[in-house]
């Protein structure tokens, strides 16, 4: 007789977002999370936090067994002791399986500790609840996770008392350990018996120092776990039933499917999205391409009635009942009309706006990192590190852009040197352009970081001046004044550049080094960036997460090899340089179209 499939806490979490996904996960359908750099980076950060948490319990015993059944048996043996602390213990009850990060047994009292790489601020009260006393939705996945485990423990040990705690990076604490991030080594990656990889980090630094200087805080969540128990218990039972026998439970498709992780490339098989949507996945342009489509009530009604083409939506469905159009609806209308005509839209009003900007025009971009495990002493978890800037400057109408850049290559907190070099370069003249608000946010955080840590009155004054609505957001200009059908519902710099790069041959002849075609198709300049071969692997940096990884590799990787360090540095420089050149290209394209000198 085959053993029933047990519901793990990860299964529970995935099924909670959509029950059909549980089937795809257990059948190991391809997902766009597989190999996703950002998800991997977050996972690694989480594993490091897990490693720190386990080191805080010096007497803890690791249940080092990937096989579920053997791990359950081993846990059972360890729990014969009166007092014991277990890491990755294994429990199964009523078809539910979990491996709590930390379990402390003291006689009949159990303390369940779930470690999360989510930040919180222990100096603030009542962080889990809103003013009306309800649990804040962003905390629900974490609280349901620990509730799921608490339910299993209560079923197995009804005579025991139980305390539930989350342990998380605390933004009111700092570390005094320098280069903490570099003191971890990824020493083991193995798959558990459900086939999903598990990574483990070992700490190469001074463990006693870490115990005295860590930044994790435990938060009691007994009340919340108690409140969520009935709901989690009945939901878990329904999920378990769908697994035994494994059955695909169809969930009504909706606009929420847009970001489904099983929305993989059309030709990939098996294809979860395709199975859910069938022929409704086919129309081009698709209703899921609509800018902020989830805000339009008629969108889900149309999907429910089997119509999924963008032009199945009537323009009248975009407005309010009184016929007026808000900002989002106006953008949607432009998208629909200009997609139908296959025409670019450039608002004539943009001409006067561009003409009003004073020279020099500076186009800036930052590369930054904010991870749970800080790089430097004195830092809080998730504190921003600004490690690189690039700027293209056009000094006068018709002038060629000049490039300037700065990158940190030392193992020290770089933010003040970063901001000082930027201040020295930009000064206070002309107009500074960014794409979105990130640069403003970073400069504001550098200003806060200066408090009590760095004295430089001129810098403080300049940062206050710069962050006082000084920068022009080109993403906002795009949203208000520009659309091209290639962009669909998106306005990221990469999408906009891709559109104008194809549309504007003069740009391509001006910057031939970024021209690359594949199978007769013009590639985006980001895809034309030349790779480097590092440790026999071809690598290229062409997005933000890749830049963070490259920075870590440059500073903490094979740092004894200056050539490899230089290769990472050059990859970072060429990527950030293109980000600001992309802004120049877009600006030029707009100026050319609107005859702005």
State the Cα–Cα distance between residues 9 and 100, nearest whole angstrom: 10
Residue 303 touches ligand SF4, criterion: CB under 6 A: no
Least distance from ligand SF4 to the Cβ atom of residue 20, Å: 4
User: How many Cα atoms within 13 Å fall on the side-chain side of residue 384?
Assistant: 22
Q: Considering the rule CB under 6 A, would residue 299 count as an interface residue with ligand SF4?
A: no
The backbone torsions φ and ψ at residue 135, rounded to the nearest 5 degrees and listed phi first, read -70, 130
| Minimum CB distance to ligand SF4 smaller for 103 or for 253 | 253
Cα angle: 191, vertex 194, 198; to 5 degrees: 30
Least separation, in Å, of the C-beta of 64 and ligand SF4? 34
Options 17-25, 45-53, 82-90, 529-537: segment touching ligand SF4 (CB under 6 A): 17-25
HSE value, Cβ hemisphere, 13 Å, CA-based, for 25: 26
Residue number, 276 or 423, with CB nearest to ligand SF4 = 276
Query: Shortest gap between Cβ of 489 and ligand SF4 (angstroms)?
Result: 18
Instruction: Tell me whether residue 309 or residue 351 sits nearer to ligand SF4 (CB atom).
Output: 309
Q: What's the rounded Cα separation, in Å, for the pair 494 and 265?
A: 19
Question: CB of residue 410 vs ligand SF4: minimum separation in angstroms?
Answer: 45
Nearest CB to ligand SF4, comparing residues 74 and 257? 257
Task: Give the whole-angstrom CA distance, residue 5 versus residue 147.
Answer: 20
Nearer to ligand SF4, 153 or 243 (CB): 243
Work out whether 20 is an interface residue with ligand SF4 (CB under 6 A).
Answer: yes
Cβ atoms 31, 261 nearer than 8 A: yes
Site for ligand SF4 in 307-326 (CB under 6 A): none
Residues 25-44 within binding reach of ligand SF4 (CB under 6 A): none
How far apart are CB 286 and ligand SF4 at their closest, in Å? 13
- Would you say 525 and 497 are in contact if contact means Cβ atoms under 8 Å apart? yes
Q: Minimum distance from CB of 485 to ligand SF4 (Å)?
A: 25
Considering the complex, state which of residue 272 and residue 485 has its C-beta at the smaller distance from ligand SF4. Answer: 272
Question: Across-strand partners of 198?
Answer: 190
Minimum CB separation of residue 19 from ligand SF4 in Å reads 8
Query: Given the complex with ligand SF4, which of 18 and 86 has the nearer CB atom?
Result: 18
Distances (CA, A) of 98 to 95, 244, 430: 10, 18, 58
Count of positions on this chain that bind ligand SF4 (CB under 6 A): 11
Shortest distance (Å) from residue 220 CB to ligand SF4: 34
| Smallest gap from residue 258 Cβ to ligand SF4 (A) | 9
Q: Are 389 and 423 in contact (CB under 8 A)?
A: no
Contacts of 269 (CB under 8 A, 6+ apart): none
Q: For residues 169 and 120, what is the distance between their CA atoms, to the nearest angstrom?
A: 7
Contacts of 394 (CB under 8 A, 6+ apart): 359, 360, 361, 400, 401, 402, 584
Residue nearer to ligand SF4 on the CB measure, 60 or 257: 257
- List Cα–Cα distances, 161 to 59, 148, 156, 240, in angstroms: 22, 16, 12, 26
Q: Are 486 and 347 in contact (CB under 8 A)?
A: no
For the CB of residue 239, give the shortest distance to ligand SF4 in the complex, in Å.
14
Binders of ligand SF4 among residues 387 to 416 (CB under 6 A) are: none
Task: Choose which of 18, 290, 443, 487 interacts with ligand SF4 (CB under 6 A).
Answer: 18
For residue 503, the minimal CB distance to ligand SF4 (Å) is: 32
Structural contact between residues 359 and 395, judged by C-beta atoms closer than 8 angstroms: yes
Could you give the angle at the alpha carbon of 59 between the alpha carbons of 53 and 63, nearest 5°?
75
Question: x/- string (CB under 6 A) for ligand SF4, residues 232-271?
Answer: -------------------x-x---x--x-x---------
Q: Give, for 192, the enclosing helix (H) or strand (E).
A: none
Site mask for ligand SF4 (CB under 6 A), range 505-544, x = bound: ----------------------------------------
Kindly tell me which of 31 and 552 has the beta carbon lying closer to ligand SF4: 31
Shortest Å distance, C-beta 273 to ligand SF4: 5
Three-state DSSP at 188 gives strand
**Residue 255 or 416 having the CB closest to ligand SF4:** 255
DSSP for residue 291: T
Is 446 buried (19+), middle (13-18) or exposed (0-12) by CB count in 10 A? buried
Cis peptide, bond prior to residue 45, ω within 30 of zero: no
Judged by the rule CB under 6 A, the positions of this chain that interact with ligand SF4 are 18, 20-21, 251, 253, 257, 260, 262, 272-273, 276
């Amino acid at each position: 007789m085959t053993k029933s499939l047990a519901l793990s806490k990860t299964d529970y979490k995935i099924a909670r977002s959509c029950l059909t996904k549980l089937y795809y996960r257990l059948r190991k359908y391809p997902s766009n999370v597989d190999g996703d750099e950002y998800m991997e980076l977050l996972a690694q950060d989480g594993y490091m936090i897990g490693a720190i948490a386990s080191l805080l319990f010096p007497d803890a015993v690791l249940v080092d067994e990937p096989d579920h059944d053997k791990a359950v048996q081993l846990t059972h043996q360890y729990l014969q002791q009166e007092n014991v602390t277990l890491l990755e213990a294994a429990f199964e009850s009523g078809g539910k399986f979990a491996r709590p990060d930390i379990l402390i047994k003291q006689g009949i009292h159990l303390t369940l500790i779930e470690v999360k790489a989510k930040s919180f601020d222990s100096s603030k009260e009542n962080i889990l609840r809103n003013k009306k006393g309800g649990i804040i939705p962003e905390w629900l996945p974490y609280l349901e996770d620990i509730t799921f485990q608490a339910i299993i423990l209560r079923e197995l040990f009804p005579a025991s008392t139980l305390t539930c705690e989350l342990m998380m990076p605390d933004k009111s604490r700092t570390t005094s350990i320098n280069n903490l991030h570099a003191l971890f080594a990824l020493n083991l990656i193995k798959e558990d018996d459900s086939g999903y990889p598990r990574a483990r980090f070992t700490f190469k630094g001074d463990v006693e120092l870490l115990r005295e200087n860590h930044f994790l805080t435990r938060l009691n969540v007994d009340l919340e776990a108690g409140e969520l128990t009935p709901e989690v218990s009945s939901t878990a039972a329904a999920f378990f039933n769908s697994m035994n026998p494994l059955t695909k439970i169809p969930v009504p498709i909706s606009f929420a499917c847009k970001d489904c992780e099983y929305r993989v490339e059309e030709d990939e098989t098996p294809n979860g999205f395709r199975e859910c949507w069938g022929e409704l996945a086919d129309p081009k342009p698709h209703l899921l391409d609509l800018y902020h489509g989830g805000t339009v009530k008629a969108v889900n009604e149309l999907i429910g009635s089997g119509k999924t083409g963008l032009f199945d939506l009537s323009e009248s469905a975009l407005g309010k009942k009184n016929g007026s159009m808000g900002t989002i609806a106006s953008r949607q209308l432009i998208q629909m009309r200009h997609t139908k005509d296959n025409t670019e839209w450039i608002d004539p009003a943009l001409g006067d706006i561009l003409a009003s900007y004073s020279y020099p025009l500076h186009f800036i971009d930052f590369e930054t990192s904010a991870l749970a495990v800080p790089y430097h002493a004195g830092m809080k978890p998730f504190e921003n590190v600004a490690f690189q800037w690039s700027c293209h400057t056009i000094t006068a109408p018709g002038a060629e852009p000049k490039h300037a850049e700065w990158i940190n290559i030392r193992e020290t907190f770089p933010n003040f040197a970063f901001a000082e070099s930027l201040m020295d370069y930009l000064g206070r003249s002309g107009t500074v352009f960014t794409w979105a608000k990130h640069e403003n946010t970073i400069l504001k955080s550098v200003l806060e970081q200066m408090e009590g840590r760095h004295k430089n009155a001129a810098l403080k004054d300049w940062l206050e001046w710069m962050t006082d609505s000084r920068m022009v957001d080109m993403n906002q200009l795009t949203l208000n004044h520009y659309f091209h059908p290639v962009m669909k519902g998106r306005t990221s710099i990469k999408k906009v550049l891709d559109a104008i790069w194809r549309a504007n041959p003069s740009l391509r002849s001006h910057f031939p080094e970024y021209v690359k075609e594949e199978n007769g198709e013009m590639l985006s300049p980001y895809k034309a960036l030349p790779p480097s071969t590092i440790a026999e692997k071809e690598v290229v940096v062409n997005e933000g997460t890749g830049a963070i990884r490259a920075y870590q590799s440059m500073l903490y990787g094979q740092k004894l090899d200056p050539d490899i360090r230089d290769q990472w540095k050059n990859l970072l420089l060429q990527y950030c340089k293109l980000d600001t050149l992309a802004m120049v290209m877009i600006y030029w394209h707009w100026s050319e179209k609107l005859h702005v000198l």
